[in-house]
Amino acid sequence: MMMKVARYYGAGDIRIEEMPVPEPGPGEAVVRVRSSGICGSDVMHWYREGRGPVVLGHEIAGEIAAVGEGVTGCKVGDRVSASHHVPCNTCRYCRNGHHTVCDTLRKTNFYPGGFAEYLLLPRINVDRGIYLLPEGMTFDEATFIEPLACVYRGQRIAGTAMGKSVLVIGSGISGLLHLQLARALGASLAVSSDVNEFRLKTARQFGADEVIRAGDDLPRVFRERNGGRAADVVILTAGAEKAIAQAFQSVDRGGTVLFFAPAGKGVSVPLPVNELFWRNEITLTSSYAANYEEHMISMELIRQGRVNVRDMITHRLPLAETAKGFGLVETAGESLKVIITP
């Protein structure tokens, strides 16, 4: 039996091809993909350079189509989402709570990728990376489980909590998820910044207390909105050098800057050690991916409606139009979440 896939060869080169539907071995499962979200990392061509041809896509939801011998955690017909990367849970990194820097996590993946009609979950992914969808959650909504889990992990590490002020630099999908989660966690002030007027308008619709054009004097304007104080938590979902510099200027004493998005290839910025750190106890931190518990928390936040993901979907396209979807995400015009429906 053959299936269609959207195979990435490089920037602007995505081809619809055919390949055999994978068959599950012992402990494995096959998912019929119903919805697959396009992530910003899918269009970071410098990051993908040299890796193609490859079938991308990791924000998936669908139905279990077949299971191999010995599988007990799911059955044919179950509605699921799944992790493409899973940790070993036993190495020194996992034991210390750093599951997402585990060597196993960085080597695991499902096959061939989410922009396909079917995909195979290896034994380790079936064991520790399947999430049974709650009743009423759509496949489209379930594609947000993985990105929101990453956002939750970032804010947990950054210490977002009741009464803290939060500045989110960048108002794309990640920025809007960060904005909504900050509000859900009780932030006293949640402010969004971007250079794109459509995204600033959208940030207001998703609950931003204030929006600030990134071209304005961001640190000064934020302080004006926050009673003269800088931000307790600054979240970088943009990797431009100017955005990073503004983050350093916008964080309060004792505050935290979270590097959530990668910068461009080869980007480095000067670190104002005396002005930023000395006597100010500022923390610079980062986060990557998410563990099983964070995925489960993310799914519950979506189920409860505490984070509105449904209204973030602006485009649903068939597999044949995957290249168009990549273009929409890359140009960042009036699009938010683009979902492929194989």
304 falls within a domain: no
pLDDT at 106: 94
Same domain? For 134 and 27 the reply is: yes
Q: Would you say the pTM of this structure is higher than 0.85? A: yes
CATH number reported for the structural domain that contains residue 184 in this entry: 3.40.50.720
Same domain? For 35 and 164 the reply is: no
Q: What confidence tens digit (pLDDT) does each residue in 206-262 have?
A: 999 999 998 779 999 999 999 999 999 999 999 889 999 999 999 999 999 999 998
Give the number of domains in the chain: 2
Same domain? For 214 and 191 the reply is: yes
Same domain? For 199 and 328 the reply is: no
Residue with tokens 């984070």: 307
Kindly give the confidence (pLDDT) of every residue in the chain, 342 residues in length, as a single tens digit, with 9 standing for 90 and above: 999 999 999 988 999 999 999 999 999 999 999 999 999 999 888 777 777 799 999 999 999 999 999 999 999 999 999 999 999 999 999 999 999 999 999 999 999 999 999 999 999 999 999 999 999 999 999 999 999 999 999 999 999 999 999 999 999 999 999 999 999 999 999 999 999 999 999 999 999 999 999 877 999 999 999 999 999 999 999 988 999 999 999 999 999 999 999 887 888 888 888 878 788 999 999 999 999 999 999 999 999 999 999 999 999 999 999 999 999 999 888 899 999 999
Same domain? For 129 and 160 the reply is: no
pLDDT at 272: 84
Same domain? For 31 and 138 the reply is: yes
Same domain? For 115 and 204 the reply is: no
Dihedral (C-alpha) 159, 163, 169, 174: value to the nearest 10 degrees? Answer: 70
Same domain? For 281 and 332 the reply is: no
Q: What confidence tens digit (pLDDT) does each residue in 289-331 have?
A: 999 999 999 999 999 999 999 999 999 999 999 999 999 999 8
294 falls within a domain: no
pLDDT at 300: 98
CATH number reported for the structural domain that contains residue 57 in this entry: 3.90.180.10
Same domain? For 126 and 222 the reply is: no
Same domain? For 140 and 15 the reply is: yes
- Three-state DSSP class for 8? strand
295 falls within a domain: no
Domain interval for residue 237: 151-286
Same domain? For 181 and 269 the reply is: yes
- 8 Cβ partners below 8 Å, 6+ apart? 14, 42, 48, 52, 53, 54, 55, 56, 115
Q: Which two tokens stand for residue 40?
A: 């910003």
